[in-house]
Amino acid sequence: MFRRNFTLSPADTFPSQGVIKLLLITQGATLLLHAMRVPVWLTILCFVLLSWRFWRLRSGERDLLSNGVKNSLAVALVAIFGVSNGLNFTVEAAIAFFLLTYSLKLLELKSYRDAFVFAVLSLFLIILVFLYGQSLLEVSLVLVSIVLPLAALLALQDAEPGSAGWLKRFSAGARILGWAIPLLIFIYVVFPRVGPLWAMPLKSNSAFTGLSEKMTPGMISDLAGLSSRAFRVVFNGSPPPKSELYWRAILLDGFDGRTWYRSGLQSGREIGLYRTGAPLPPGPQGSWDYEVAMEPHNQVWGFTLKNYVMVDESPRLSVDGTLLFRDSQESLTRYRMVQGEWPEEDPGQWRLTRLPEGVNPQTRALVQELRARHADDESYIQAWLSLFREQPFFYTLKPPLLPGEHTIDQFLFETRQGFCEHYAGAMTFALRAAGIPARVVTGYMGGEYNSSGNFWAVFQYDAHAWVEAWVEGRGWLRIDPTGAVAPQRIESGLRAALADDAAFLENEPLSLARLSNYSTVAWLRNQLEYMNYLWHDTVVLYDQNRQSNLFSRWFGENKWKRILGLLGVLAVGILVLFAGALLYGKTWRRRPPVALRPQWILERKLRRAGIPVPPGSLTPAELLSYATPRLASGREGLKAVLEEYQALTYSRSSAGEDVSEKRRALERRIKSLRLKRLRR
Amino acid sequence: MVTLRKKLQQIEENWLKKRVPASERRTLDNRSLFVFPNRWGVVFGLLTLVVLITGINYQNAMISASAYLLIAMCLLHIFQSYKNLAGLTLEFDRAESAFPGDWITVILRVHAGDRERKGILVGWLPDRYARFNLDKGQSRDITVRLPAKRRGALEPGRLLVATSWPLGLVTVWSRPDLSVRAWVYPEPVHAEPLDADTQEGGDQDQRRKHASEGDFAGLREYQKGESVRRIVWKKFAQTGARVVRDFEVSSAKPEWVDASAWAHLETERKLSAMCEALLALYNQHKPFGLRIEQTEYGPDAGEAQLRRCLLSLAQYEGR
């Protein structure tokens, strides 16, 4: 019977207006959800297709485009997309292509099958929003918009599609979703977590923001325009003071006259130079001082404070104090760190005093002058810091451009306005020129404490660059020239330091972070941040470890044995029930057809009286001749009811006669019979 | 292949006969209901798998969760579809007879029982079915039209009752045998009777004349149950009112349509000729009777008599 595969609505039925309108609304919502990540022209084009379809629907036209027009339009649009996109195989490009073909489907949407496919495609495109992020914002967007394709599918199944209004349709969709959510939670908790099955070739281009492995003037100040979160930290115990929260990410040790770069790090994967030393050993098991929940940034590095080592196998801490993962991190990642001294490695072999020849002559002259006065490394450093502090240097997000060849000369002697990367770059140059090994460190500085959740949130605008210098006898010193120019940046964070700078978050005019000077907004932002933290911490980061821990808590240490045992007991129980149903179910189910019920009742009565009537095979006459010699009393009654029964069942009843009433009367008579077994 | 399929069909048929025996009224329950994902369900399942793998490979918890959501919806779908059909009662009410080439109207009565029903299909594959919704407690007559082909009994076999509500991924269906049976009248085809003299009157020409003219007595409103053939369609097109030509029932001597008059024809042609003769007499508004073998119907005039006679022709099983 399974081979009969029928569709409940013939594939060629034109879907009702209501269904198509629902589908158009669904498509609009889907396009809006992706609008930020796909080219603007594509979104506009898809909306044009949508409007065309809507206009077609309004004018009551059933005929769409002819096949030739339709196909050439589709080919043309796909070709335009191919040309404009090029060989750019990213997640966004894939989604854009998907959206385009999906919207082209509208051109030929005229049957049950088309409508069904369109609704299901919408469903999947809505789910793909999670590729951009997994916070409460995306979750609520998806939960709300997923109701639309569900409502469309429901309307498609409705035999009277015009019978319900919008509200009814949407609430029906929401109900389907609501029923599924408890089951979803159960599956989410128990479904086994596995690692990636194979490497995904698609990379995202714009979905990830954050530090890169190079530093040119302007790169970090670009990040100051973003209020997205970089990572969250929970301290186990009291945290260090805020001005000590220097989250190290990467060391930049090469300089080409304009850009600071990581000499050993190529293509973001190969660690090369920095893998030469063995990684630092992990700290003692079970103890930790802080836990970082890192947003996906598509890079291999993590963030750590100085003199903390990792608790688990991954990520690994390299000898120079950078935290490295095996792969680029494309999803939310969590790791724990514990206090532990870092060995002070010898900088000599890294040749950290190399500089390109012939650039920045003015700076070199100043270096020679200062070095002549301060032979001692530390006082030389102090001399530079007081130079920054005392001379008219300004801390700003929008420093003038430095187009020339001698960028550091230009900055130090002409513009004198810069962001942290200008100061860090100039300082490192000055140190190296004086023969002191030095490097630029980029990462984040500070963060915002969330008192509701007792965690720190670090945002993109907290990105920072500072300097590390090797001083004989003291090891690596952290030097932050920005602190000399704008001490507020270090003590209270960027927002306080640049309270009046219009450039702060200038592209996000409505960002809560920008408006946080108003206390209600600050409170609201704090609460939202906290809710997202809870969401990420309990739900999104529910991984293999957490699942295992949860099962341990439920089932104890030998959890797998117990879970297996429990499953076994369940299986056996179900089998027993099933077998029981098979064995006894027969007597339950062998209810006779109504017409035969009088005899069935009579046989049961005889058996109860002690006469073993064989089940279900005797005719009334046979039953009579079987039972009569075994009865002590009630023979006449038995004969009478059996005759009546025979008359009722085996003779043709004339039309209009109520047989069932007669049968019931007979059943009552049989029940009132007094039968007694003959004793021998 | 064909024989194997036939055999499988036979096995299924026998199995169904035991499991869901014939009765004119059936309430659907777990014994008579079957559940299986349809082809859209299979497509949906494959796409869900794609989502699941995407979630795993990108280590994206929310995409994985979406896959679980889809799985959860499919599982619930099975129960929702099942409950949408379970407890529904179907009855074969009646089937209206028709001439070959016309449509036979089968009227089934459905009772919703204690819940609302959505998107239920009732009828026969491939395309003779009706779709409907039912409110809680509602009873309703469902009309399914079947093409009338050959004279005699039309037995469309087991009914199909199915639903894919809510999302169209899983189909729950039942094949109750409501002993649906309809009668198809013979095709009216004129044939000369064997010997006009043996018939009363023998006025073949006269009869023809009457058939075309009749004793026209005016127009009156159409009443339900009357043959639609008597509706004055011209009038209907002009005014939208269904009126029929009213004829005075002639008090003439009843005429008999006797099977023996066409004894030289083989059965079907004989019945066709008798049918034509009955219709002609009916159109003359004369009392008439039908004599077929030893049975006599009538004599009487009017629609009811015509129907009785035509039905006996439809049910005729002799040679």
Taking Cα atoms as reference points, which of A45, A177, A21, A168 lies closest to residue A101?
A45
pLDDT at A312 over 80: no
Locus of tokens 């019979």: A673
Helix (H) or strand (E) holding A294: strand A290-294
In a domain, residue A65? The reply is yes
pLDDT band at A2 (very low <50, low <70, confident <90, very high): very low
- Check CB contact under 8 Å for B66 and A127: yes
- State the average pLDDT over residues A329-333: 80
- Check CB contact under 8 Å for B127 and A10: yes
> Shortest CB distance from A540 goes to which of B47, B61, B71?
B61
- State the average pLDDT over residues B114-127: 87
In a domain, residue A319? The reply is no
Q: Which residues of B touch A10 (CB under 8 A)?
A: 127
- Which amino acid belongs to residue A42? L
- State the average pLDDT over residues B220-233: 66
In a domain, residue A530? The reply is no
CB count in 10 Å sphere of residue B191: 16
Helix (H) or strand (E) holding B106: strand B103-111
- Say if residue B166 is preceded by a cis peptide, omega within 30 of 0: yes
pLDDT at A176 over 90: yes
Our count of domains for chain A comes to 2
pLDDT band at B8 (very low <50, low <70, confident <90, very high): confident
Distance from CA of A635 to the nearest CA of B (A): 35
pLDDT at A514 over 70: no
- Check CB contact under 8 Å for B59 and A157: no
Please write the tens of the pLDDT for every residue from A436-491: 888 899 999 988 888 888 889 898 888 899 999 988 888 889 999 998 888 888 77
- Check CB contact under 8 Å for A191 and B64: yes
- Check CB contact under 8 Å for A183 and B76: yes
pLDDT at res. A254:
84
Q: Which residues of B touch A120 (CB under 8 A)?
A: 40, 43-44, 47
- Which amino acid belongs to residue A289? D
pLDDT: which is higher, A617 or A332: A332
Mutate to test the interface with A, among B68, B161, B174 (most CBs of A within 10 A): B68
> Shortest CB distance from B164 goes to which of A157, A191, A539?
A157
- Check CB contact under 8 Å for A131 and B36: no
Active site residues of A: 420, 464, 480
The helix/strand/coil state of A322 is coil
> Shortest CB distance from B61 goes to which of A194, A199, A542?
A542
Cα torsion through B124, B129, B132, B136, rounded to 10: -30
pLDDT at res. A643:
87
Distance from CA of A365 to the nearest CA of B (A): 53
In a domain, residue A504? The reply is no
Distance from CA of B107 to the nearest CA of A (A): 18
Q: Best-predicted range by mean pLDDT among A245-249, A591-595, B187-191, B197-201?
A: A245-249
Distance from CA of A232 to the nearest CA of B (A): 18
pLDDT > 70: what percent of chain B?
83
Alpha-carbon distances of A127 from A96, A120, A532, B59, B318, rounded to whole Å: 14, 11, 19, 15, 69
Contact A657, A620 (CB under 8 A): no
> Shortest CB distance from A158 goes to which of B50, B127, B133?
B133
pLDDT at res. B223:
64
In a domain, residue A298? The reply is no
In a domain, residue A598? The reply is yes
Taking Cα atoms as reference points, which of A31, A49, A224, A238 lies closest to residue A125?
A31
- Say if residue A161 is preceded by a cis peptide, omega within 30 of 0: no
Contact A356, A257 (CB under 8 A): yes
Contact A309, A338 (CB under 8 A): yes
Could you give phi then psi for residue A463, rounded to 5 degrees?
-60, 145
Contact A480, A466 (CB under 8 A): yes
**Distance (Å, whole) CA B123 – CA B107:** 10
pLDDT > 70: what percent of chain A?
84
Q: Which residues of A touch B21 (CB under 8 A)?
A: 593
In a domain, residue A662? The reply is yes
Q: Best-predicted range by mean pLDDT among A426-430, A572-576, A673-677?
A: A426-430
ipTM given for this complex: 0.79
Locus of tokens 């009126």: B243
Question: A146 to chain B: nearest residue by CA?
Answer: B66
Please write the tens of the pLDDT for every residue from A600-611: 888 888 888 888
Alpha-carbon distances of A64 from A28, A101, A276, B163, rounded to whole Å: 20, 17, 66, 30
- Check CB contact under 8 Å for B40 and A7: yes
The residue out of A151, A172, A190 marking a domain boundary is A190
Taking Cα atoms as reference points, which of A340, A18, A347 lies closest to residue A160?
A18
The residue out of A126, A158, A190 marking a domain boundary is A190
- Check CB contact under 8 Å for A197 and B166: no
Who's near B256: CB < 8 A, 6+ residues apart? B199, B200, B288, B289, B290, B291, B299
pLDDT band at A680 (very low <50, low <70, confident <90, very high): low
- Check CB contact under 8 Å for B43 and A198: no
For A634, the domain range is 594-677
The residue out of A135, A164, A190 marking a domain boundary is A190
In a domain, residue A109? The reply is yes
Q: Which residues of B touch A331 (CB under 8 A)?
A: 58-61
pLDDT: which is higher, A277 or B55: B55
Q: Which residues of B touch A539 (CB under 8 A)?
A: 61
**Distance (Å, whole) CA A275 – CA A298:** 20
Question: B130 to chain A: nearest residue by CA?
Answer: A159
pLDDT band at A510 (very low <50, low <70, confident <90, very high): low
Q: What six digits make up the tokens of B250? A: 């002639």
Could you give phi then psi for residue A353, rounded to 5 degrees?
-115, 5
> Shortest CB distance from A196 goes to which of B21, B57, B63?
B57
Euclidean distance between the first and the last CA atom of chain A, given in angstroms as a whole number: 56
Helix (H) or strand (E) holding B207: helix B204-213
